[in-house]
Chains A and B, each alone.
Chain A
Amino acid sequence: MKKVLALVFVAVLCLSCLAGCASNKKTIGVILIGDENEGYTFAHIDGIKKALKATGYSEDEVVWYYNVPEDETTYDKCVDAAEQGCKVVITNSYAHQTFAQKAAEKYADVQFVSMTGDTAKKSNLKNFHNAFNATYESRYVSGVVAGAKIKELVEAGKLTDKNYDADGKVKVGYVGAFPYAEVVSGYTGFFLGIKSVYENVSMEVSFTNSWFDIAAESSTAEKLIADGCVIIGQHADSTGAPSACEAANKAGTVVYSVGYNVDMLSVAPNAALTSSTNDWSVYYTYLFNQLKAGKEIATDWSEGYNTGAVCITKLGTSCAEGTQQLVDNAEKALKDGSVHVFDINTFTVGGEPVNSTFCFDSDGDFVYDQVEAIKDGYYHESEYISAPSFNLDVDGITKLN
């Protein structure tokens, strides 16, 4: 009895000794919605690790918080990171931001960055920031890939009556997560990308009301395929839609998939054309460099092809001939500014061109009431605030639900 107690006592002593000396300096706190098993978060982890290397920070200086839900847990983790001496705290999911903002109010000398958030500007806090890659640009380019495929299919006479709508336009389907501006901006960019190569298309969008739901994304894609859509685009995080396309494609249906975030060739070797994706390391490198130099961090940061923050994944073998050339041209044009995704000459709303619209909701009633978005002939997406704001219902796109 005494021996056992003595042993336990010694063990506890050892523990507390080690506890005392195990801590080291922490500079960067990272709060993640998932872990490396989940594609979106994996991309962030990857980006942060690359950026650490590029800027000379050690991984030991990072505190990682995995699987943090979008609730008060986020606030706890923000406080925890700040209390450990972190100079910057990053959160990677949209609804983390409310709690990060609360922590930013409390810890004025710690910088908080809410990736994909949209309240930094409104908050007027000097230490609270938002960043969002200009994903609509890579969606546009992935649309170019899809457009080239449609053109090839039409010219080869591979499409049947089912693939055309009542007006004789080729049907494209899109699996969206939620009907928010982020998604609207994305699918409109994709649609306009297709139209830049093949004009005669219409698009049906169906929402799953979840960012990640394999079953729902798969069944939604099946529904769109049954309706005759020849391309299935997506703004949802799972492989549900590409897998459904691959199955249908194998069964002889003419349908191809354009994915998101990750290369879908592993699940859809025949059906996947490409995916639009992000390189988060571009922002994180910027962030860590500013931190190191003690310089101010932008309240809103949004970059696209000109800094390499967005891109598309490797083209699949099913892509039409000459696609690479079209992609190169489109990317070059976006880079040098000769093409803008939301050029007002390329879309109409209710049959009319749009010459003026707001892009900022100043009073929280979910209606844009400030800041003109259309200047120099195009909609300035992600410029005033980094989060996508484009939410116009462009002609040719039908929301199914």
Chain B
Amino acid sequence: MSKSKSEPLFRISKRDDISFKKALMIRAIALAAALLVAGIVIIMIVHVNPFKVYGTMFLGAFGTRMRSWVTVRDIMTLLCIAVGLAPAFAMKFWNVGAEGQILIGGISTVFCMKYFDNLPTFVLFLVMIITSMLCGAIWGFLPGFFKANWNTNETLFTLMMNYIAIQFTSFMVAKWENPFGSNSVGIVNNDSMRGWLPSMFSSSPGDDYGWNVVIVMIAVVAMFVYLKYSKQGYEISVVGDSVNTARYAGIRVNKVYIRTMLISGAVCGLAGFVAVSGASHTISTSTAGGRGFTAIIVAWLAKFNTFTMIFISALLIFLDKGASQIASDYHINEHVSQIITSIILFFLLGCEFFINYNVKFKKSSKKSKEVAA
């Protein structure tokens, strides 16, 4: 008897490998459980049919042609940031500075829109893309450089760089304020629409966001190839696994830090360009809007596979759009609808645990008695 008592209720062991089918099934169960629990909460709080609410969420994201495009646009922006974060996190460099890198990319984009608007359209876009990537790269370079030379803590450093970027944005907003008293830059080049990413299927910008998709998908493919098939990508993954192994293998770790952060910052800067030129046509401290942090979740969940990131970005944006729509349609506080989406998110993220770990329950008490006997 005493033997069976000491046996824990369940044991957790790391799974070495899991079949794609099994992983998919765990995720499907998680989704079903999420919808069930969220459904119970919905019935308790809002007293409506949960399926109707889920239908509403779907409408919120894809209800009209324009909504679908806005959803796609937001997915692309988040995706671009996650793609930027991928190389940094793949080498276990905790770049929480995407917010700042986006803002700096955004500010440089607005700067080009305002002061270089007489350049030919194609050249203007080239200049905007290059400067935004360059500025983002500088914002990524600094923490990388300090880490490489003085082993500073990159989490704190990148976080501090965010604050600098936010304050710098406030400063530029005050400088470019329009109209006076609005504490906002207003819409840049409202009449000329210079520097606005055009629509793919129509002559007026903002009718669709096809070019956003093109730009970001280029980044997705390029980053995938870079991380998976290039020598530098291999170096990143070795540094991520073990710095000492990397050193032993003759990889110059410091160089990898700096080089990777330049790339990471540059892509986040590009996300700033996409957010400003391709969507908002303005800049404010909310331009990054926390997406620099959300993208960390996207990058990690996708295990730095940029194609997997597409689905995860899509899920997060879908839930976000759904939440606002629930709030609007059922006259409930937006925070309630966020509870619903967080329940769904909780299950979907939580199931990753069961994919990575195997949980074995204690054999039934009868059996253990037999064993004891």
Task: Given A4-B29, A66-B334, verify A71-B284 contact (CB < 8 Å).
Answer: yes
How many Cβ-Cβ contacts under 8 Å join chain A to chain B?
111
Chain B hits for A106, CB < 8 A: 204, 206
Task: Given A95-B182, A102-B187, verify A15-B31 contact (CB < 8 Å).
Answer: no
Within B128-169, the residues touching A (CB, 8 Å) are none
Q: Which of B241-249, B261-269, B274-282, B360-368 contacts A (4 or more CB under 8 A)?
A: B274-282
Contact B59 A98 (CB under 8 A): no
A63 at the interface (CB under 8 A from B): yes
A166 at the interface (CB under 8 A from B): no
How far is it, in angstroms, between the C-alpha of A118 and the C-alpha of B284 when the chains are bound?
Answer: 21
Contact residues on A (Cβ < 8 Å of other chain), bracket: 35 or more
Contact A83 B65 (CB under 8 A): yes
Task: Given A15-B54, A178-B181, verify A72-B282 contact (CB < 8 Å).
Answer: yes
A392 at the interface (CB under 8 A from B): no
How far is it, in angstroms, between the C-alpha of A99 and the C-alpha of B182 when the chains are bound?
Answer: 12
Contact B32 A19 (CB under 8 A): no
From A8, A16, A59, residue with most partner B Cβ within 10 Å: A8
Give the secondary structure class of A's interface. helix
How far is it, in angstroms, between the C-alpha of A302 and the C-alpha of B214 when the chains are bound?
Answer: 48
Residue ID in chain A nearest B335 by CB atoms: A35
Contact A4 B28 (CB under 8 A): yes
How far is it, in angstroms, between the C-alpha of A37 and the C-alpha of B279 when the chains are bound?
Answer: 30
A251 at the interface (CB under 8 A from B): no
B5 at the interface (CB under 8 A from A): no
Chain B hits for A65, CB < 8 A: 324, 328
Contact B59 A63 (CB under 8 A): no
Contact B63 A99 (CB under 8 A): no
Task: Given A63-B328, A98-B186, verify A119-B28 contact (CB < 8 Å).
Answer: no
Chain B hits for A102, CB < 8 A: 187, 190
Task: Given A8-B28, A70-B184, verify A64-B328 contact (CB < 8 Å).
Answer: yes
Name the contact of A72 in the complex, choosing from B25, B55, B58, B279 (C-beta under 8 A): B279
B120 at the interface (CB under 8 A from A): no
Interface residues of A (CB under 8 A from B): 1, 4-5, 7-8, 11, 14-19, 22-23, 35-37, 59, 63-67, 69-72, 75-76, 79-80, 83-84, 94-95, 97-99, 102, 106, 118-119, 178, 180, 364, 366
Interface residues of B (CB under 8 A from A): 21, 25, 28-29, 31-32, 35, 51-52, 54-56, 58-59, 62-67, 70, 178-184, 186-187, 190, 204, 206, 279-282, 284, 286-287, 324, 327-328, 331, 333-334
Q: What 5 A-B pairs are tightest by C-beta distance, nearest first?
A: A18-B55, A72-B280, A95-B182, A19-B55, A19-B58
Question: Can you name 10 A-B residue pairings with CB atoms under 8 Å?
Answer: A15-B55, A16-B58, A18-B51, A23-B63, A35-B333, A64-B328, A70-B284, A72-B282, A84-B63, A180-B181
